[in-house]
Amino acid sequence: MFKINDNFCQLAESYLFSEVARRIAAFKEANPEAEIIRLGIGDVTIPLCPAAIEAMHAAVDDEANAATFRGYGPEQGYPFLREAIAEHDYRARGVEIAPDEIFVSDGAKSDTGNIGDILAASNRVAVTDPVYPVYVDTNVMAGRAGAPLAGGSFSKVVYLPVTAENGFVPALPEEKVDMIYLCYPNNPTGTALTREQLKAWVDYAAANGALILYDSAYEAFIRQEGVPHSIYEIEGAKKVAIEFRSFSKTAGFTGVRCGYTVVPKELKGVDSEGREVGLNHLWNRRQCTKFNGASYISQRGAAAIYTPEGRRQAREAVDYYMANAALMLSELRKAGFEVFGGENAPYVWLKTPDGMDSWAFFDLLLRECQVAGTPGSGFGPAGEGYFRLTAFNTLENTREALRRIVSRFA
Amino acid sequence: MFKINDNFCQLAESYLFSEVARRIAAFKEANPEAEIIRLGIGDVTIPLCPAAIEAMHAAVDDEANAATFRGYGPEQGYPFLREAIAEHDYRARGVEIAPDEIFVSDGAKSDTGNIGDILAASNRVAVTDPVYPVYVDTNVMAGRAGAPLAGGSFSKVVYLPVTAENGFVPALPEEKVDMIYLCYPNNPTGTALTREQLKAWVDYAAANGALILYDSAYEAFIRQEGVPHSIYEIEGAKKVAIEFRSFSKTAGFTGVRCGYTVVPKELKGVDSEGREVGLNHLWNRRQCTKFNGASYISQRGAAAIYTPEGRRQAREAVDYYMANAALMLSELRKAGFEVFGGENAPYVWLKTPDGMDSWAFFDLLLRECQVAGTPGSGFGPAGEGYFRLTAFNTLENTREALRRIVSRFA
């Protein structure tokens, strides 16, 4: 009989957000009158900006006429988008990234999930803890994680706790690791690293032959000076890091699907005989073989975000969410919560009251305030006792959720 | 130093279609006045049908308004599309496939490439030869293919020749295999299997515990009775087969990106301890973890193909291409070529004249007729001495290409 990939059997039964959705649905069924406000999954609520809408209508029209019809596009993305990214996301910040180092895709979840295809199963993986579940789960699938341990962690993964105790700055690993996932501004804690703090990681990777997988899906939410938007702002990073970006949160593309991954040509790993191999070439081969390019319509929409109007409009949406985040920080503090993040990211991370465990607090908040968040423990063992709320709902709903929380807990 | 996935080093330097594109570009640069007609890569040329265009405009408008905005959709695809597929592609043919057995994606290339994620690296793989390169290349990447041999084949892959000698019907493997890729109507040969011929494979898989990976991306081109559109038309297939489908060729979605994969709940493999595990569950977990759903706009466009107007309009485009194919068969025969396929598929497969090798004929045809096709040897060792032409160009260009070929070879 043909065999399945056994590693899948090591995974917890359900993906975190599926479990959250399941509990909300069960509560809703038992309490059909409840008006649940969702501050859980990081999905946006503001419609796409007019510049993107206009560009996508035009792209749909392109597909309606033989003279402008676009069939298969380049697997790596259209030049019009790769060049706009190179110019606005990098050159404008003093970073030189060539268009052929940029790979457009259907989103950062796909890319952070698939990147392991080009890396050896024997690499030792480090993640911050708590962490976006995709990093760990995809390494479990690939056989890099080892055996599941009590508490939801895995035997071969090196966990780097980020908690209130260390100010949410991960310590460098004590044992040798090969692949390090860093997400900054951070999901789920909403905290950021300064240039100096990130430089310590680039230097560590260079000194130890490690690869940094840098997820900067939330860079548009950075408000403070001194917080890098790209890891390539750090000298030497092109030799040690892959960067993942997304239009999902920056421009509301969660349903439209578009993101990109930067794989610098200077970045090299070694094969089993120690020969250097360029990762740009490998990722290009992977994408040409297993992917056929992002939708032309989505790419046109994404390119419109780089026009002057598109940038202004997208920025307005980000500002709106960040105003929600500011309100959440102040109101939650008023209610007596210890809160973190929310200054350079659309996530607020709070300590559960009285040391309550994360899922118990999830159930309590859902039951008593009809507010749905995400349990910190779902992001990793060190997330236990924490809880994530997102700033992506409407101002009205966010206000109402905070009113309920303040009236219950203050 | 971190290690790369060594299996990538076993791959030929470039993906077939990249090499074709490179040679065409080089010829074009040397001969800027040449009017090259491309009958190579299987890309469509007819614009999207009005029903799909209208639905996509409406979907773009949905994304412009808060009341109708769609963010993250279900990773498996929207119910409106899964239900339309179940109804029209299956129930209408007497096959019961539940919507939750259908996984919508950004295309069949992604799915046929990624499906290996849920299968053990130790499985023995069989492919027809010639074959769509993605099947083999993705298994090389996953370590299932073994070492490269002279001639472009791999030591652990079982090749099942399909040539004029056996009427393009692959013989059942003589050694035990675990995973069998079948693409019917076939890319690249354009030939089809009858119900009885396909039944032999379903029976073989059931008797030998093998999994059939059935790519029916070209089912819309079937014209003859007795040729199954879905493998599930064969009794017992739900226990042994995954089916891949695409809107790319059926409805011109090569640039819009949408396809789907059917993983029946009855289909089970075993883990390393021999316990049965359902593949529907595994693929669902894979997609929820490494994929975030196809674009909402693409899914709305795809759903429109199932309306009465959409079906009629999509069928018109398919008929147009099949008229090209019929013309190609008759004119190429007139020019003295031995030709195959083209009756239930948009591909015509021809024997190169005088036993010329495939790449030599590619260069000759490009140089002397300014017609670009695809060398058969690029699809596998048994494709040597054959050549693929596609029916996807305009009637005008197809006629002109045939005129040049007839005048050179007749």
Which tens digits make up the pLDDT trace of B84-118?
A: 999 999 999 999 999 999 999 999 999 999 999 99
Residue B15 has pLDDT above 80, yes or no: no
Distance (Å) from the alpha carbon of A44 to chain B's nearest alpha carbon: 6
Q: How would residue B151 be classed by pLDDT, with cut points 50, 70 and 90?
A: confident
Q: Which amino acid is at A383?
A: G
What DSSP assignment string belongs to B87-110? IIIIGGGT----GGGEEEES-HHH
Other C-beta atoms within 10 Å of B92: how many?
Answer: 11
Residue A12 has pLDDT above 90, yes or no: no
Residue B47 has pLDDT above 90, yes or no: yes
Q: How would residue B65 be classed by pLDDT, with cut points 50, 70 and 90?
A: very high
Q: Does A251 touch chain B (CB under 8 A)?
A: no
pLDDT, mean of residues A69-87: 97
Q: Give the distance from CA B24 to its chain's centroid.
A: 23
Which chain A residues have a beta carbon less than 8 Å from that of B133? 289
Tokens of B395: 């009637």
pLDDT digits (tens, 9 = 90+) for A45-62: 999 999 999 999 999 999
pLDDT digits (tens, 9 = 90+) for B315-373: 999 999 999 999 999 999 999 999 999 999 999 999 999 999 999 999 999 999 999 99
Enclosing H/E stretch for B215: strand B211-215
Read off the DSSP letter of residue B170: P
Q: Does B380 touch chain A (CB under 8 A)?
A: no
Closest CA in chain A for residue B9 = A271
Q: Inter-chain contact B15–A269, Cβ cutoff 8 Å?
A: no
ipTM of this complex prediction, to 2 decimal places: 0.96
Q: In chain A, what is the straight-line distance between the N-terminal and C-terminal CA atoms, in Å?
A: 60
pLDDT digits (tens, 9 = 90+) for A285-340: 999 999 999 999 999 999 999 999 999 999 999 999 999 999 999 999 999 999 99
Q: Does B289 touch chain A (CB under 8 A)?
A: yes
Q: Give the distance from CA B371 to its chain's centroid.
A: 23
Does the N-terminal peptide bond of residue B185 adopt cis geometry, omega within 30 degrees of 0?
yes
Enclosing H/E stretch for B212: strand B211-215
Q: Does B207 touch chain A (CB under 8 A)?
A: no
Residue A14 has pLDDT above 80, yes or no: no
